[in-house]
Amino acid sequence: MNFSNLFVTTIANTPLEISEVTLNRKFDCVYFHKNQITLKTFNTCLKAINNNSFFIFNDIYENSETIKNWSSIKNHPKVKVSLDLFYFGVIFFRKEQAKEHFKIRI
């Protein structure tokens, strides 16, 4: 694999910064720390996806709010595949993929 064009961006969980970063940019991978698992942050980052993008969510079962948000996120119409690994979750957006949810016990 060639990673010479890899560009890593970190952003704070502020709506203004997230909006500015996602403007005119596409991301392959976005990592959400537990305090960033909000529907507003998720919906803003959706503007920056491409067909091969995936999002990683840390601590999806930390509290009732992250559980509720994880459920809403994995059922979003743009999400095609979700992997529930208890400690974290991963979602994929490939349009060609049938919608599937996997829960894997580690």
Which residues, 6 or more positions from 32, have their beta carbon under 8 angstroms from its beta carbon?
41, 42, 55, 56, 57, 58
Q: Of 2-6, 8-12, 62-66, 79-83, give the range with the top mean pLDDT.
A: 79-83
Q: How far apart are CA 88 and CA 26, in angstroms?
A: 23
- Mean pLDDT of the chain, nearest integer: 84
Per domain, the residue ranges of the chain are 26-103
Give the helix ranges, DSSP H, for the chain.
Answer: 15-22, 39-45, 64-74
Which tokens go with 69?
């948000």
Which tokens go with 71?
């459920």
Q: Is the CB of residue 29 less than 8 Å from the CB of residue 53?
A: yes
Q: How many CB atoms lie within 10 A of CB 59?
A: 17
pLDDT mean over 42-59 = 89
More confident site: 11 or 61: 61
More confident site: 57 or 38: 57
Longest dimension (CA), the chain: 40
The reported pLDDT for the residue numbered 30 is 85
